[in-house]
């Protein structure tokens, strides 16, 4: 196949943002396949560990996940005995979320895998560039 030109896309932030995100997420998927964790499940485990006892709605909202879509995700984490829905004391409508011992153990392994990915990125694009990248991306989110 002869080369196909894509002149206008070659300097577009949106285009490279999408391609870079796909590349990093594919690498993430490779590293996490053994742990059987999707990005959404991984960030959910982090959010629960950092905020034990919080309501489903709060955790879901913080992660940008709609409440209805969070139900099946939690069902699966509970089925695998990684997280639990426990009674929320005062409000009997709410579920308080907590990690199990197995959940904390798996999260520890996942955090190690994530750390390896961050190190690989640092090695590939450079330490300073990585810090600049994260800083710029954070400003872009407010955009």
Partner DNA sequence: TATTGTTATACTCTATAACTATA
Partner DNA sequence: TATAGTTATAGAGTATAACAATA
* CB atoms closer than 10 angstroms to residue 71: 13
- Cβ of residue 102: shortest distance to its own copies, in angstroms? 19
Rounded-to-integer distance, Cα 53 and Cα 96, Å: 4
* 29 interacts with its own copies by CB under 8 A: no
Candidate list 37, 54, 77, 83; residue touching its own copies; CB under 8 A = 54
Give Cα separations from 123 to 53, 120, 129, 130, 137 (angstroms).
38, 5, 10, 9, 19
- Stretch in the footprint of its own copies (CB under 8 A) among 60-68, 69-77, 78-86, 97-105: 60-68
How many angstroms from the chain centroid is the CA of residue 106? 15
Contact 88, 59 (CB under 8 A): no
Q: Does 33 participate in binding its own copies (rule CB under 8 A)?
A: no
Helix (H, G, I), strand (E, B) or coil at 95: strand
- Hey, CA dihedral for 75, 83, 26, 63, is it positive or negative? positive
- Output 98 or 130, the one with its CB closest to its own copies: 130
Using alpha carbons, select from 95, 32, 90 the residue that is nearest to residue 59.
95
Residues 83-112 interacting with DNA (rule: CB under 7 A): 85, 88, 90-95
Note whether 39 binds its own copies by CB under 8 A.
Answer: yes
Residues within the interface to its own copies (CB under 8 A): 1-2, 4-9, 11-21, 23-25, 27-28, 39, 43, 46-47, 50-51, 54, 57-59, 61-64, 111, 114, 117-118, 120-121, 124-125, 129-130, 132-134, 136-143
Binding positions for DNA, rule: CB under 7 A: 38-40, 55-57, 65-71, 74, 85, 88, 90-95
């Amino acid at each position: 196949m002869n080369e196909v030109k894509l002149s206008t896309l070659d300097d577009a932030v949106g285009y490279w943002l999408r391609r870079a995100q796909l590349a990093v997420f594919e690498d993430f998927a490779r590293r996490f396949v053994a742990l059987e964790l999707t990005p959404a499940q991984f960030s959910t485990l982090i959010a629960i560990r950092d905020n034990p006892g919080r309501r489903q709605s709060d955790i879901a909202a913080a992660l940008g996940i709609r409440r209805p879509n969070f139900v099946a995700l939690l069902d699966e984490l509970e089925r695998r005995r990684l997280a639990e829905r426990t009674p929320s004391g005062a409000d009997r409508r709410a579920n308080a979320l907590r990690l199990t011992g197995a959940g904390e153990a798996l999260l520890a392994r996942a955090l190690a895998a994530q750390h390896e990915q961050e190190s690989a990125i640092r090695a590939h694009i450079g330490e300073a560039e990585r810090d600049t990248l994260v800083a710029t991306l954070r400003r872009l989110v407010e955009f």
